[in-house]
Structure 1
């Protein structure tokens, strides 16, 4: 069990640095590693450091390791919540801070708050011991929804177009690894499509598998399935459920394993679609794929 950080009026003496801006981030990361949460005195102290402008001049390259530490903790939501409550989140990740209070449609619920939902997805990733690219994708994949036209809410039209440059800017700002950037952009474009995969026919499923890298980038494909599963399970009542769309795509992917990797791309695509259609029928998925 992680040791409990010292929530005294003074910042812990073992931070290894004296920059008060970094101390705010380190404290938030330590809180995410602990069973405890910050008390009011600690939050007040963190707020004072932010209000004094200590985060303004901290290089993003120095912020990134602290963000990674918090994201990879057992409870990443506690880091995000602490940063939000002391005002630091708006300073370092305004794109994420802007999601708080933004509504989105949820199956079985009237709507969810995207800020709260984000924190639940991060904790779901932690329970799965997910790698950093998965957690970073969950942190950033909805940033295009913060300024959706109010008259359309809780629907978010064209959020992918708004989100792509924001994710790219976040990655450039912090020097995030390419694996983080690639998965976040893939999740932005494909997560909602994966959630709707049961409405597709075998041909579009075969094309989706290729587009998602299931054949030539299997690790990234598995990470995307984890992102989608965490997004799904973060909704109320789904915490213990198995993500059904990943199961559907796994059936399709196994069916494609029997298809020879020879001939033209069109021939392989057609053969994969035929194999998927047969697998769906044998697994009683025919009603889902029409």
Structure 2
């Protein structure tokens, strides 16, 4: 029974990066032996165990064989006779297919160290094409390591294109796709993720609305802006869909099964952008500004409103951003209205609602130098 540190920990160690998660492969062991040593088994697809003290994951060496479409379309074989090389062979990229023994000896059967040095993302074997999710993983690693100069090698890009052409991407489960997108949005160069997907044709399947070069580059510029401002996941996602109209955005976000906060922010951003573009930046309509605040549910969702203005600030042109400033002033002015003060003045029921709106409108008009219509 031999234990090896594998995958990302070995890769990041060789790159001189900090190692966050450590995964291990155990060769020559049975589940019973692992349990006897105090490990706890987790998962049902294949034998993975948690160390009794460190709680790090230890997986028994295994092989996989494609049996059908999708993430679950594999048969897994795990037994003491599976070798370390056989286990590494099933991995996606050569830089993730290295192992280090407990004595510090590096096992690198697929030249992952050489690809690290040449800054190339290369598939381990033709088995790469058995799992279309690996297209997204490769794009995500490209986004993570782009600042270090990594690129997808020609051979792997050709293989990814052939997988897309064969319709493999269409079999991906939306929930799994979202997991990869969510992680990619927070990589060092998130735009690279979408560029790689575009280069291999996968983006045309996943977000076909970004097919045109103009829309794609505008969306990536917005994403880069939000990323530079350390935006939330919802803000980054809204930036990606910022070139869509409200109806199309709502349909796409729903199809991708993005979380509700991401769907709502993306829809609001696409709904607000055309209205703000039509505002007079010098003398905007107080009525329109108040309607936008109400549509954004500003008084109950102030944090989301802040996220919305961040996204719009990254998607609008200079004239639009000037009009957006008026919306910000309107929000500050309108939030100064105290309903309790109006109640003390005798307003109640429907009249109270009308008085609150009237006062908000007047304050917005004064703050933005415009006249209520």
CA RMSD of aligned residues (A): 3.0
Residue 366 (structure 2) pairs with residue 278 (structure 1): yes
Which of residues 109, 127, 130 in structure 1 aligns to 2:228? 127
Task: Give the unaligned 5+ runs of structure 1.
Answer: 102-112, 145-159
Specify whether residues 176 and 11 from structure 1 end up closer, same or farther in structure 2 by C-alpha distance, changes over 3 A only: farther
Residue 298 (structure 2) pairs with residue 258 (structure 1): no
Give the match for residue 31 of structure 1.
142
Which of residues 284, 287, 296 in structure 2 aligns to 1:200? 284
Indicate if the aligned counterparts of 2:129 and 2:160 stay in contact, CA closer than 8 A: no
Which of residues 169, 175, 187 in structure 2 aligns to 1:73? 187
Residue 323 (structure 2) pairs with residue 245 (structure 1): yes
Equivalent runs, 1:1-290 vs 2, <5 Å: 6=116, 7-11=120-124, 20-34=131-145, 35=147, 36=149, 37-97=151-211, 100-101=212-213, 113-144=214-245, 160=246, 164=247, 166-197=248-279, 198=281, 199-232=283-316, 243-261=321-339, 262=342, 263=347, 264-281=352-369
TM-score by length of 2: 0.58
Indicate if the aligned counterparts of 1:31 and 1:79 stay in contact, CA closer than 8 A: yes
Distance, in Å, in 2 between the alignment partners of 1:210 and 1:276 is 13
Return the offset for 1:26.
0.5
Aligned length: 242
Specify whether residues 277 and 53 from structure 1 end up closer, same or farther in structure 2 by C-alpha distance, changes over 3 A only: closer
Specify whether residues 255 and 131 from structure 1 end up closer, same or farther in structure 2 by C-alpha distance, changes over 3 A only: same
Specify whether residues 181 and 85 from structure 1 end up closer, same or farther in structure 2 by C-alpha distance, changes over 3 A only: same
TM-score by length of 1: 0.72
Which of these two proteins has the greater Rg computed from alpha carbons? 2
Task: Give the unaligned 5+ runs of structure 2.
Answer: 1-11, 18-94, 96-115
Distance, in Å, in 1 between the alignment partners of 2:124 and 2:302 is 44
Return the offset for 1:244.
2.9
- Match of 2:152, SS state, is coil
Specify whether residues 168 and 212 from structure 1 end up closer, same or farther in structure 2 by C-alpha distance, changes over 3 A only: closer
Q: Deviations over 1:101-152 (max 9, x none)?
A: 4xxxxxxxxxxx11211111111111111111112222224334xxxxxxxx
Indicate if the aligned counterparts of 1:55 and 1:88 stay in contact, CA closer than 8 A: yes
Q: Deviations over 1:212-231 (max 9, x none)?
A: 22222111111110111110
Give the number of the structure with larger relative contact order, counting CA–CA contacts within 8 Å between residues 6 or more apart. Answer: 1
Specify whether residues 225 and 80 from structure 1 end up closer, same or farther in structure 2 by C-alpha distance, changes over 3 A only: same
